[in-house]
């Protein structure tokens, strides 16, 4: 056991005052008091032997225990990273496929919406045309009826015009000349005037 000389001297002084005698086991050689034991040239051979033995044991333990564990950990991490990369690539492929499917469905939906809008416009246009044709037919029928009524009224009016003309002519002649004219003469005169007006 290595004890410094100062500590040994204190121990001897304390023991001397108490009446006990203790030995430190350290030789009081002045030549060895200032040197560090691993640097002593007399013990180099044994130190080198123990260094080689400790290095060999340490090297054996590192190569058989620590390094295989470290390489196993690195291999596990490498496998985990490879699996994570594969999973990421698989998920990226799935997301790309989902995006492509979404874009395809969106394009199809736009096409369907365009087709539906076009069909709705065409249907509305056809319905409007049918309704317009129906209204035109109804108006045509009403116009034809009105023209028939006008023709009837005109024929009736024209038929009555001869009678009115006869009555008016008879009245005028009787008032202007104070004479009487037969209905046949008035009818002949009205017919002659009506024929020349046409």
CA distances (Å), 153 to each of 92, 147, 150, 168, in order? 89, 10, 5, 21
CB neighbours of residue 194 within 10 Å: 13
Residue 187 contacts residue 166 (beta carbons within 8 Å): yes
Identify whether the C-beta of residue 5 lies closer than 8 Å to the C-beta of residue 28.
yes
Distance of CA 184 to the CA centre of its chain: 100
Going from N- to C-terminal start, the domains of the chain cover: 156-197
Closest CA to 60 of 49, 52, 72: 52
Q: DSSP letter for 168, please.
A: H
Buried b (16+ CB within 10 A) or exposed e, 22-53: eeeeeeeeeeeeeeeeeeeeeeeeeeeeeeee
What whole-number distance in Å separates Cα of residue 29 and Cα of residue 36? 14
- Check residue 177 and give its pLDDT: 74
Distance CA 18, CA 11 (A): 11
**Residue 67 and residue 75: Cα distance in Å, rounded?**
12
Q: Is the dihedral of CA 186, 187, 188, 194 positive or negative?
A: positive
d(CA 38, CA 66) in angstroms, rounded, equals 29
What pLDDT tens digit does each residue of the chain (198 aa) get? 445 555 555 555 555 555 555 555 555 555 545 677 777 888 888 889 999 999 999 999 999 999 999 999 999 999 999 999 999 999 999 999 999 999 999 999 999 999 999 999 999 999 999 999 999 999 999 999 999 989 888 888 777 777 777 777 777 777 777 667 677 777 777 777 766 655
Closest by CA position to 182, among listed 162, 196, 166 = 166
């Amino acid at each position: 056991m290595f004890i410094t000389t100062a500590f040994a001297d204190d121990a001897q002084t304390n023991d001397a005052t108490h009446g006990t005698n203790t030995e430190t086991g350290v030789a009081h050689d002045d030549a060895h008091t200032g040197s560090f034991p691993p640097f002593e040239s007399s013990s180099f051979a044994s130190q080198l032997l123990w260094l080689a033995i400790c290095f060999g044991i340490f090297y054996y333990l590192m190569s058989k225990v620590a390094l295989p564990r470290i390489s196993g950990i690195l291999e596990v991490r490498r496998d985990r990273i490879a699996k994570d990369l594969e999973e990421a690539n698989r998920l990226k492929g799935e997301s790309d496929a989902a995006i492509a499917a979404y874009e395809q469905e969106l394009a199809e939906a736009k096409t369907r919406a365009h087709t539906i809008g076009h069909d709705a416009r065409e249907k509305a246009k056809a319905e409007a045309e049918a309704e317009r044709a129906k209204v035109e037919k109804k108006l045509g029928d009403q116009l034809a009826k009105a023209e028939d009524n006008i023709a009837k009224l005109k024929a009736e009016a024209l038929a009555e015009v001869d009678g009115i003309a006869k009555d008016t002519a008879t009245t005028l002649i009787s008032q202007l000349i104070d004479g009487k004219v037969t209905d046949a003469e008035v009818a002949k005169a009205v017919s002659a005037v009506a024929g020349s007006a046409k």
